[in-house]
Amino acid sequence: MTEYAITADGLTKRYGEDTAVDDLSLSIPQGTIYGFLGPNGAGKTTTMRMLVALTEPTAGTAEIAGVPITNRSQLTQRIGYLPADPPVFDELTAWEHLRHVARLHGMPDDRADDRIETLLDRFNLLADADRRIESYSTGMTKKVGIIATLFHDPDVVFLDEPTSGLDPRAARTVRDTVADLVTREMTVFLSTHILPIVDELADTIGVINDGTLVAEAPPAELKARADESRDLETAFLEVTDERDATAAERASQEASDAGTEEFQTNV
């Protein structure tokens, strides 16, 4: 029997007259990567914020790792959430910040220090660990956020644009890390505009447009639906249609930039 890490039934979020997310249902198996795509303003962040109990749904229910999203205290132990702009205490050093994160999770300092060292080393930040985060670049700060998200070894992680602001090598580290998480039975819900990342990593891609889930399929199946070209970018543009052509063009530009980054990384 399939174990589902994320289930949602009829999730809806309205802001006054506007519906940001409309009747969204999901069944995401444990140990898989779900790539969540959509044009700007489609409802991706709102969906994630409902799933991690930061925004209350107007209607509908969801469970993460078997915990209803209404049970916030239990939920936070089982999930990690990386928002697009991760919160960090920038007057602290990376090491101090991560110790603070460890204490929030009730981890003793000696155990935390081993894990901090391993994770900082993995993200190439060990040499800067004793500098204040306020002196870090955007990408370095983002890496600290990613480490904090993974620190307590959650069952399900929600990543909102995890590679934005990262150089090609750091982006590759994030991609490798995400792939590695899944081998440890973690489930990853990944929202991004960088199409090659979901193409490479996702088991299933969900496309949201104007608050509604308009497509859900494995990457190969989604690409096969695209006329002639058989690529994800065309499939994305087709299922999200012309209503948001500007945003789609921007997403496709970002995707092509990411392709360039990949080329640079590989040379």
67 vs 248, beta carbon nearer ligand ATP = 248
| Shortest distance in whole angstroms from residue 72 CB to ligand ATP | 19
Residue placing its CB nearer to ligand ATP in the complex, 128 or 233: 233
Closer residue to ligand ATP (CB): 62 or 98 = 62
CB of 189 to ligand ATP, least distance (A): 13
CB atoms within 10 A of CB 203: 16
C-beta closer to ligand ATP: residue 41 or 68: 41
CB nearer to ligand ATP: give 40 or 229.
Answer: 40
Give the nearest distance from C-beta 45 to ligand ATP in angstroms.
3
Q: Is 5 helix (H, G, I), strand (E, B) or coil?
A: strand
How many CA atoms does the CB half-sphere of 69 hold within 13 Å? Answer: 25
Q: Is the dihedral of CA 181, 183, 185, 191 positive or negative?
A: positive
Structure tokens at 260: 């360039």
Q: Output the smallest distance, CB 40 to ligand ATP, in A.
A: 3
Three-class SS of residue 137?
A: coil
- Residues sharing a CB contact under 8 Å with residue 267, sequence separation 6 or more, in sequence order: none
Question: In terms of CB distance, is 38 or 196 closer to ligand ATP?
Answer: 38
Return the number of the residue (15 or 263) whose C-beta is nearest ligand ATP.
15
> Smallest distance from the beta carbon of 98 to ligand ATP, in angstroms?
27
State in angstroms the smallest separation of the CB of 146 from ligand ATP: 18
The beta strands (E) that lie in the chain are given as 4-15, 18-29, 33-37, 59-64, 67-68, 79-82, 156-160, 187-191, 204-209, 212-217
The C-alpha atoms of residue 184 and residue 28 are separated, in whole angstroms, by 16
State phi, psi for 66 to the nearest 5 degrees: 80, 0
- Minimum distance between the CB of residue 20 and ligand ATP, rounded to whole angstroms? 3
Residues at the site binding ligand ATP, with contacts judged by CB under 6 A: 15, 20, 38, 40-46
Buried b / exposed e along 182-202 (16+ C-beta atoms within 10 A): beeebbbbbbbbbbbbbbebb
Asked if 5 contacts 28 with a C-beta cutoff of 8 angstroms, the reply is: yes
